[in-house]
Chain A
Amino acid sequence: LAKTTQPISMDSYEGQEVNITCSHNNIATNDYITWYQQFPSQGPRFIIQGYKTKVTNEVASLFIPADRKSSTLSLPRVSLSDTAVYYCLPYNTDKLIFGTGTRLQVFP
């Protein structure tokens, strides 16, 4: 399984754009990249997934370069409610193995 590396924590202020980068140097050819969000005392929630280039939904954008060795989750204009832990995971249809994630703290 591909190992991922993310920053342990990030701080931001309301209204700013936040970019969280994840490295996954040995990602398998048929793996997608998925991102999850987790609030305290809740289960993780799926945010977005992609294979290559850019994917956008109502919550976030995901940028994956051609070599697929990294990916960047972009959260536009964050609010206090975006304070959470964000996980990057390679995924096919196998089991999900979580890393420690990035703890995002948004300040007023």
Chain B
Amino acid sequence: DVKVTQSSRYLVKRTGEKVFLECVQDMDHENMFWYRQDPGLGLRLIYFSYDVKMKEKGDIPEGYSVSREKKERFSLILESASTNQTSMYLCASSPPYLSGYGYTFGSGTRLTVV
């Protein structure tokens, strides 16, 4: 069974901390994505990557950075966590072509910044 695994299901961090959210996929997909989901705002794209060492800004990149050193791993970094970054974070991957299987999402990391 193909998988996207997010390292933590729940995280609590303090304001100002540097936070790393890890995502690993075992499908050899080129494309990887980070979204955040908030009530009433739906899923919003933060960053995405179409290849190793490559990254593109999504709709809400401010306050975030990413790292893609290996094909299977895409990390989201909160440089200095703030309370408005409390959210559900979702990682996804997909092949670079229409596969008939769409995106595969992880189970999400619920981050609380206090």
Chain A residues in the interface with B (C-beta under 8 A): 32, 34, 36, 41-46, 49, 91-93, 95-101
Contacts and interface: CB of A to CB of B under 8 A. Distances in A.
A46 B99 CA distance: 11
Nearest to B6: A43
A96 B33 CA distance: 9
Contact of B92 (A43, A92, A93, A97): A43
22 contacts: A36-B102, A41-B88, A42-B105, A43-B90, A43-B92, A43-B108, A44-B43, A44-B105, A46-B101, A46-B102, A46-B104, A95-B33, A95-B45, A95-B48, A95-B58, A96-B33, A96-B45, A96-B92, A97-B45, A99-B42, A100-B42, A101-B42
Q: Chain A contact residues: over half helix, strand or loop, or mixed?
A: loop
User: For chain B, which range describes its interface: under 10, 10 to 19, 20 to 34, or 35 or more residues?
Assistant: 20 to 34
Nearest to A34: B102
B16 interface: no
B78 to A, nearest CB: 19
B102 A42 contact: no
Interface string B22-44: 00000000010101000000111
Contacts of A100: 42
Nearest to A44: B105
A92 B98 CA distance: 7
Given A93-B97, A93-B98, A41 B42 contact: no
B102 A49 contact: yes
Nearest to B106: A43
Contact of A46 (B48, B103, B106): B103
Contact of B42 (A42, A46, A98): A98
